[in-house]
Structure 1
Amino acid sequence: MASKHVFATVGTTKFDLFISSLSSQKILNILYSQGYRTLTLQIGNGTVEPPTGEVEGIQVDYFRFKDSLAQDMQAADLVMSHAGAGSCLEALEAGKPLIVVINEDLMDNHQMELASRLHQDGHILYTICDELHKTLENMDLRSLKPLPPAQPHTFARFLDALFGFET
């Protein structure tokens, strides 16, 4: 089995529970058992800094911010992300399997709605930190559907028709 890579991102936020969960012995052991050998974490403004180097058989490294996460997303076999719209769409547009981890401390925002809809449409798996191990143990990434490509011309035609412009 070829070794696989996980990329995890919290975007510009602080989501320490996610970072500490991902770098726990339990989660690393599950990832290792599924053939993952490298884990890169983008930790944003968090205060938790994961251990680096080889941990439980997985090479772990992290960074806080970059101008673009596109290269990290492309290199990943699995992306795990907070439920920020930008991070989710970037992973899906890159065609990567995505597990969204909901920050329960932010339940008054859009995160649960976005994750729930993307899951209902078959594009992602989602969970909370306390259930991440179960999601990883039971995941079937082959069941995920790619996000259809954006169709900006359709939207432009809709606007033209709405405002009475002929196309």
Structure 2
Amino acid sequence: MNIHQPRGDVPGRTLAIVEELKGLEGPLLPILHEIQHEFGYVPQDCLPVIARELNLSRAEVYGVFSFYHDFREHPAGRHVLKLCRAEACQSMGGDQLAESAKRLLGIDFHETTPDGAVTLEPVYCLGLCSCAPSAMFDGEVHARVDADDLDALVAEARR
């Protein structure tokens, strides 16, 4: 299950993660990854703690957080469906696939179905350009995804 609820004191746990990792060279990304691993997303009240402890501005921390598509502002659903939005996949029907997924799920990118079953996310290359269009479902990549494959993935997520 991918849904995480913050456990206990978010700023306190954030501080512990920062303390553990701030000695690394370039610690911001490892810290953000560990926070997302801990909570399932990066709670906004973590960002000022990170900024203070790394002697960075809040804008610098938010800029890095918002630049990378893998960081979430909200908890993900039980399943995560990522659709490749890169040029190779678009040229092989990725746009139509994305519209079909949105219609099937009743949500847009960066949203979760009301029942918490599926979060739909764009991803900008899964490295399967020769097998486009591609998708990732709960960390497992799928190549040459068509409408039937998409229906099967959505059905699996709703079980």
Query: Which TM-score applies when normalising by structure 1?
Result: 0.28
Q: Give the structure with the larger strand fraction.
A: 1
Query: Which TM-score applies when normalising by structure 2?
Result: 0.28
